[in-house]
Structure 1
Amino acid sequence: MKKAELKEFLDEKVTLYNNPKFIESDPIQIPHLFSKKEDIEIAAFLAATISWGNRTMIIKNSYKMMELLDNSPHDFIINHQEKDLDSFDSFVHRTFNSIDFKQFIKSLQHIYKNHQGLENALRIKDGTKNYQTAIHNFKKLFFEVDHQQRTQKHVSDPLKNSAAKRINMFLRWMVRNDKAGVDFGIWQTHNPAFLSCPLDVHSGNVARKLKILTRKQNDWKALAELDKSLRNLDKKDPVKYDFALFGLGVFEKF
């Protein structure tokens, strides 16, 4: 497929999937429960963190997380006391359990009290045009507080060649303003041109079939290659094509 044909094909798929109907079956519905900026970003971060495996279970357990946070995530994180975390003991999603969830609450409190919140903590501050170092630095901030080693695996590190799928998805939700009511675009200090596609089995396989990705592993090197291809199609909003790749893979079994 020539570049013009490929762009036309993928743009059509973006239009098809980047609309409010998409929200009904996607974890992005969780932050859409809220209107306050901090609630939206915390709900989004937690839902994105457990976004692997069965989508129905991801959504169900994300709702459970919000209930445990009294459906007021920011207020709970800032003002909770140790005893308020006792009700978390039965929470589990795959390998993310109550120990990890409690740690995330403490780390998020640290991010909001000492680093001006998630938007500032994830900003690109080194002049690069992707989030590789920003995510690595965020992970360091996140675990500045006392923590159990086991929880570190739930925040990816792109400098260790992780594709950081879940954080990249979270960043897409927060940074990209799609004017369609799906992605929020509430982080004005970030640039959507620097976002990376959340690379998973579905988007990776579709990208390879379309020959916009050749690397076989779904790692950061593959992501850098995919970034280049997608930015070549739209340099200002490259990750809109996540909707096309995901939709083709999950809904159309392309």
Structure 2
Amino acid sequence: MKLKKSELKEFLDEKVVLYNNPKFIDSDPIQIPHQFSKKEDIEIAAFLTATIAWGNRKSIIKNANKMMDLLDHSPFEFITQHQDTDLERLKPFVHRTFNGNDFMQFVESLQHIYKNHNGLEALFLKYAEKDSLQNSIHQFKKVFFEVPHLERTQKHVSDPLKNSAAKRINMFLRWMIRNDNAGVDFGIWKSLSPSQLSCPLDVHSGNVARKLKLLNRKQNDGKALAQLDKALRKLDPKDPVKYDFALFGLGVFEGF
């Protein structure tokens, strides 16, 4: 499908309006952090939910709710105040290849970030570049695994500098930084700008982006993400990832 740039922008802008609204929340994992009102609870719930956001959306939502149950619905308090004995209850948790041991590790690593690095927002801000957060994600992974950890858990945090599209962390960052005035994305990280965000590239958004000629690379990897970012920044340099709603909606709800 070949549209002129102005037609493409108009087409996608309409789809953003259609899908970037609160009705979207009902079928999306973003509903989990929407259960909270405190900044730290929102960001921890969002990070953990995004971490397991692959596979069937119903099971993502079910298991992310289970995670919140296990953290007593006070994720920040649990992460910062837990005793070692509290971690035992996380042991049976499993979502695809993410298991209870990974969950326990994530709790320890998050505690390290809140105690020693002023929290998630400060850490991503520290390494942010003017028009990209990919280096921030790379540095975040290093800090996340500064504490003693299981080798196996490293695969659950992507590294864009190793050519990963880092879909789940980019989605988490979209939730935190983008304020859409529609009540979907939170926009609670005021120190960072939507212009720095990258699109959460997955099989749906990738396929639609290729059909619309926004992307020609076959794999959904870091190089493809850079290409898609460039194309979306031309359409809207201030808020490029709003088009995630359009690409995802066209793929999932319209079978485009």
Normalised by the shorter chain, which TM-score bucket?
A: over 0.9
Aligned to 2:24: 22
Q: Does 1:35 align with 2:48?
A: no
Cα displacement string for residues 89-136 of structure 1 (whole angstroms, at most 9, x for unaligned residues): 110000000000000000000000000101011125364421121100
Match of 2:188?
186
Q: Which residue of 2 aligns with 1:116?
A: 118
d(CA) in 2 for partners of 1:125 and 1:141? 11
Q: Is this contact kept in 1: 2:178–2:187, CA < 8 A?
A: yes
Corresponding residue of 1:241: 243
Aligned mates of 1:183, 1:16 — CA distance in 2: 15
| Within-5 A mapping of 1:1-254 | 1-123=3-125, 125=127, 127-254=129-256
Structure 1 contact 124–133 (Cα < 8 Å) conserved: no
The answer for unaligned runs of 5 or more in structure 1 is none
SS where residue 122 of structure 1 aligns?
helix
> Displacement of 1:88 after TM fit?
1.0
Distance 2:157 2:129 in 1: 23
- Distance, in Å, in 1 between the alignment partners of 2:125 and 2:209 is 27
TM-score by length of structure 2 reads 0.98
SS at match of 1:58: helix
Residue 38 of structure 1: CA displacement?
0.1
- Count the aligned residue pairs: 254
Letter in 2 for 1:182: V
Structure 1: distance between partners of 2:126 and 2:172: 15
Instruction: With the length of structure 1 as denominator, give the TM-score of the two structures.
Output: 0.99
Paired-residue identity, %: 74
CA deviations over 1:126-171 (Å, ceiling 9, x no partner): 6442112110000000000000000000000001000000000000
Would you say the 8 A contact 1:174–1:185 is kept in 2? yes
Question: Letter of the aligned partner of 2:218 in structure 1?
Answer: K
Q: Which amino acid aligns with 1:129?
A: D
Other structure's SS at 1:123 match: helix
Q: Which runs of 5+ in 2 are unaligned?
A: none
Contact 1:124 1:131 in 2 (8 A): no
Alpha-carbon RMSD: 0.8
Please state whether the residue corresponding to 1:198 is helix, strand or coil: coil
